[in-house]
Structure 1
Amino acid sequence: MKTALAFSEIDAGMLAEVGGKAANLGELARAGLPVPPGWVLTTEAYRRVAEGLDTSGDGLAERARRHLLEAPVPEDVRETIVTSYAELGDDVPVAVRSSATAEDLPFASFAGQQDTYLNVVGAEAVVAAVRRCWASLWTDRAVAYRESNGIDHATVRLAVVVQEMVDARVAGVMFTANPVTGRRHEAVIDANPGLGEAVVSGAVNPDRFVVHGGEILERQAGDKRLTIRSVPGGGTERVETPYDGLCLTDDQVRALAELGARVEDHYGAPQDTEWAIDGDGRLWLTQARPITTLYPLPEPTRPGLRVYFSVNVVQGVMGPLTPMGLSAFRLISAGAAGVSGYGPADPRDGAPFMAVSGQRMWLDLTTAVRSRFGRAVLPRMLALGEARTVPVFERLAQDPRLSVVHTSPRPVLRGLRRFARRIHAPSRVVLALTRPKEGLAYAARIGEQLDRRLRLPDPATPVQRLDHAERLLAATFPAILSIMPMVLTGYGLFALASRLSGVPIADMQDVLRSVPHNPTTEMDLELWHLATRIEPEPFRKEPVAELVRLFEAGELPPVAQREITAFLDEYGHRGVAEIDLGVPRWSEEPAHLLGVLANYLRMDGGADLVPSALFAKGAEAARSAIAHVASEARRKGRWRAAVVRFGLRRTREFAGLRELPKFYLVKTLAGVRRSMLVVGEHLVGLGVLDAAQDVYFLGFDEARAALGGGDLRALVAERREAYERESRRRHVPRILLSDGTEPEALATRAADGALTGTAASAGTVTGVARVVLDPVGAHLEPGEILVCPSTDPGWTPLFLTAGGLVMEMGGAMSHGAVVAREYGIPAVVGVPDATHRITTGQEIEVNGAAGTVTLS
């Protein structure tokens, strides 16, 4: 390998030899873009100097820096640096810049993690700067960044770019897509007099320009109080210089935007660039890297601006779904769409309204946004489950690009009629009103039928298993949806009782406390009772890993072994992120469950905090609430009181069934998961996969094709790596437009300290916050306030000890809100950035009636 390469010798495929920064500069130069001349000292030079460096153990960063700063530079490497530098001219001022192999990547930019040295003059100064660049690979920040992105230190190498300095009159950065709103092809330019380091380092408030389609949408003057400029003979200086007005003309702004568009077109993706304009007015491009923070866009299926709504966010599953999990939801969505008469020709394609992006599920709501009927109905529906989305939806309705084009409600009504007919909604409503016990029995029969459908012939071939899985997933959802008319009847009567009595719905929430027939509540209470029945040792002293080993070996104390096994027989299909069939269940990985039991047994709370006692108090509060609402109704007429009592009794009878369809759906997914594991074992035997679990990184169609043989191990490895990268994504939009815009980012944020959301469960509590991002292994002391992104049933064992709940997602009818009400804990949901703005240990007050969270 050559030790030094000119930019003209470098292309994007040479990452291992020249690092990300140099690979991009070489690619830009070869594309004819205005890049200052330069060359790169390859990673081979670094490898030789770093030979023998131990990248394990504590104190790694400091040890590595010392090694690289003290190790001698091989003489031939020194000669290469001196010779290559001389080829640029006599004592030419250069920028000496780090270029790591884990840098400027499509999934992680590593911007600013390694060092750059500006206006370096003289060969010996360049050699010294190269050595400091090598050492900067091991700054504390660079080491931490690699660890957070799952990159092995031992695999990283560093090249060094040496590039002629531009004596910039004005310089700065330019994003070819708006990094705040996500809007594609909207250039955002920050500019400041002097070298661009002032902007890159954040040392100034620069001028800002926003350009779209050649039109300058925004001109914002910064104070520009600091200028960084080159000093004759080498180095830079910082000068405070007042600067009035804008430092770029409109023509220069448009020229920059045009240059950015050329760079983006070359790479086929939005770019983060650095640029400079010299004293002659010439525009230079000094850097380009992918913008890694933008959320990827769904593949467009229809023309025009589209509106996508995140299924993951509303379900509280912020991470990605496995390929087989996504494949399952395509089949499920196809079955759901078919109920209304809008199913796809091939169920494997998924419903027309389903999209996938960032390995997560999205619903295309464009038709609803652009229809008169949708604008009337959808905000009311969102107010129940995703209240934060309502103002976003209302702002979208004002966008002229999303004007109403569907004026007639007839197509929607026809679909609703088909839907109601297919799930026998009228008869289910009558059943709920007149024969509630038969209604509950019907809901139980759906579960029994599902258990029968889950059974496979023994033995079943892999083809039979795949046929069964696809058929089951497409057919199950319509069947379990037939429970919902009874649930909606209960909630409809709840609203009717409010109207007849004059009591606002917000003041009737106690009616919904401790409702029966909720499988998630029943599961949580059973888990608590389980903790009271089993032997407390070894749960009070052994770590979770040891508890798992004892359980799997059948060596727990006899009652614990028997009772936990029985619990998993009933509820082992559940788990965290359970809507993804590619994710292990509690029955497979019981660590979370055993950890919860250990936490319960280590608690030191009074009898009044026992969940069963709290649940009984909730039921008593509900009876009192019904009596109060009925007495208010009696003031307006005796018959009203009778209707209110009847209606609220039905509400309590059927409201708990709200969780049952998901309970059945998750049981279906768990059954399919078990069956697909057998298919995976068969594919391992064929040499197609390395491990049976790898089957979850294939779609159903791919698994079927793989039965014919082949080798999919490389594909699975690539998908696992992509899945891990997506798992580290810190932000997922709730609404995303097809041009990349996140509408919520356009909204004005609340002032610091003013945390407001949606009132979800009445009551006020002051306590210590516990921020939990993942329920697995989490511990909540009695009375602590749980602060989390969102919840699914895998979170609810924590609710038994929580004093209150704050969630970033959700509305009054979202999962966490419903469970909080049933347990009688104050809750506020839909609180933007709650997990960032609240810290563990901070005392907060949660007002579940006002929808506010006050920080002390």
Structure 2
Amino acid sequence: MCRSASIHKDICHGKKLSTCHGAAYRLMNWILSPLEVRPDHRNRIGPKAYALSVMSREGFNIPDTLFLTVDAYSAFVDASGLRERILLELNRKEFKDMRWEEIWDCATRIRHMFLKKQIPGPLKSYLTEKIGSRFSGKTLAIRSSAPDEDVSGSSFAGLHESFVNVRGTSSILDRIRLVWASLWSDAALLYRQEIGLDVEKSAMAVVLQETVTGDRSGVVFSQNPNDKTQVIIESVYGLNQGLVDGMVEPDRWILDRDKKTVLSHKPAQREHWMVPSEHGAEMAALPENLSGRPPLSSEEALGICDLAYRAESLFKAPQDVEWTIKNDTLFVLQSRPITTLSPSETEDKRAWYISLHRSVENLKALRTTIEETLIPEMAKTAKDLAEQDITVLSDQGLADEVRRRWKINQHWVNTYWEEFIPYAHGVRLFGQYYNDAMRPDDPYEFMNLLTQTKMVSLERNQLMEELASLVREDRQLFERLKVGEPLDLDLEFGEKVNQFIEKFGDLSCAVTGGTECATDTRPLFKLLLEMAVIPSSLSSRKKPKDALALQQRFFERFQGPKRKEAEELLDLARSSYRLRDDDNIYLGKIEAQLISAVKEATSRVESSERRGTHKSELDDLKSVIHDLDYGNRQRKLTDSSNEYGLKVNPRQLVGQPAGPGLSRGKARVIRHHLDLQDFKNAEILVCDSVDPNMTFVIPLAAGVIERRGGMLIHGAIIAREYGLPCVTGIPDATFLIHTGDDITVDGFLGIVTISQRDKL
């Protein structure tokens, strides 16, 4: 394959692409028709496009199609300077140290770069002429065809974007850029090693295909991956997008490969179908006259089966063929080898990460489940456990209760991963929707529309501010708290403190609702005294600038049904954003009751040991304490060891920009939850990760630094709520920065500068 640099030199006589005369482009085959494709073009158009060209020559019925070669991608990224910017973005942090959320952020920033860069004039003119002359007035499906997309022995379907029912030159060119950008999607970055993703060498070809508005669509596997004697057909009414995206349940047929007979048919509920819309495709209710019968007859299923056999015979390998039927005419949309992805290690979670991408309909269903069922159940469970008096239980009864609470806690931990974590995709989905519509300079501008929501951790902080206000206004109360006099000297304050502890715990524990985890039970009062010496306005949430105007500009981009869709997506994103912070609070309240039972069990065992007595009933308590090892699990927020040995003194650290702004202050490094009670006003919070159960110190902070990265981690969320500079994703932040260091946090660039080391 020719390198883009030599191509530019040859056809433009050394001139930059932006100044090269458009006629020179006509000397290059930037676009190929299926009949123009030769075997040596495979690496220029990718396997998906090449397969379509082969099928077209062999008489398969494919829609009118053109292929945009990888040379166009290379010309675009080189002329726009994107190749260098992608390289810089990917080298911001080593991939082995990046969490999936950081990879999503990285992909989001790269995608936004493609959105903001226009296709250079000569290339744009060439594409406009070629596409316009071939598809004038028609709607297109625009699909990826990366040369590395289909790797032998592995299946990586779904790594890149595709679009259907795209109309108009401007929209077509826009979607081409997004398909190019999807070469660097989060899914592709996760599998970068397997597909050989490389900034210098990798490129993206594009399939431009006339949209066939099928009455029925589906996929056929010429060989069942789990049973080589079978063929599988899945079919839906309407466009195939609903089936591919998992939004519409398909009817499913299993056929015998040799006998060519139908073995079984599993009908779907048939409630929805995907239909063309002004901006692509949308889901609609399936007409009643279709819901009662399958999309295919037995004879049609056998015809689809024959199609799969022909494709398999042509390519000498089992095929996964996507097809559609319009007016009883069968069209092939694409065909690819059937391969399975079998991770070499059971710990490989990448497929699970990719599964977190959810459709709007799926997220709506998740929201209903979470808000109407799961959250109330969690709250009731925590309340019921808190009201139970475990001190009256026998030793054996207490051991049984600890085990019961562990099972309850584990149930909700599993629910958290299965239901709550996927729901966070609502924010990501809205972010992409917002950026596509608004094209802002800041790819995270959409976050300003999500703040100021009612979160549990912020409700706790507001109650703390009310308590601090009482202390601030009463000097006598301030002095009494300072010397540790009893709370009953001030009834109003004491009552409010009791209400706070009943709802949120005394802040001495690493989970919400926990109490008396420390020998010093005054962390709440130490923080209130610290908050009382600063004006209340400094500890309040900061409203994003012009958030209302920003929302109005966003809504004005849409009319009619699209306006309603935008409003629904924003509402969904706000709910997702709120739950991303609240879920750990609710989970923490349940865990606090497990800790309470473990503490009671530990107290009984230690009391018996101090007395030198032994009761056989205590053996089971000792066993359950040993099995859970909960004390050790709660002691530290991060390991105290590090790979650097005694001391490393870097001057500048680079992470991910997660909260805009600049601030300077003394570092407060948190390695144990109890370190939080020593937090002082205007310090910079430095930690492994800001748990929602730690955010009560944020009103005092001047900035936030975390080892964990991502725009949707709790520290980034809470920092934006308070308008604080935030940098995340700094490896070993809690070891490279020391408490007392004078540091500057640049939340715009993601840089932390250490200007003066603590001398202690």
TM-score bin (small chain): 0.3 to 0.5
